[in-house]
Amino acid sequence: MERTVAIVNRLGLHARAAAKLVTMASLFQADIRVRKGPREVSGKSIMGVMMLAAAKGSQITLIAEGDDAAIALERMAELVANRFGEDS
């Protein structure tokens, strides 16, 4: 399963936002990957997610495989849509 989402927070997928995404991904048993352009990384790797350098307006694709893949994608997409809990 996969879902494409836009990065909407002002600072993009910076260290704190990446940490929140990885923490969320780690709550699930599913294998979670994040893709931006040709680069695909583990959604459970802080360094991998930060290496995507996803700025505001970027599109990333969340990919999940496993028993809880659907709920994992839903929760992670909500986190991105809610600007990782940031004000802007």
Catalytic residues: 14
Rounded distance, CA 7 to CA 26, Å? Answer: 20
Placement of tokens 């990782």 in the chain = 84
Rounded distance, CA 18 to CA 27, Å? Answer: 15
Spell 31-68 as b/e; 16+ CB within 10 A means b: ebbbbbeeeebebbbeebbbebebeeebebebbbeeee
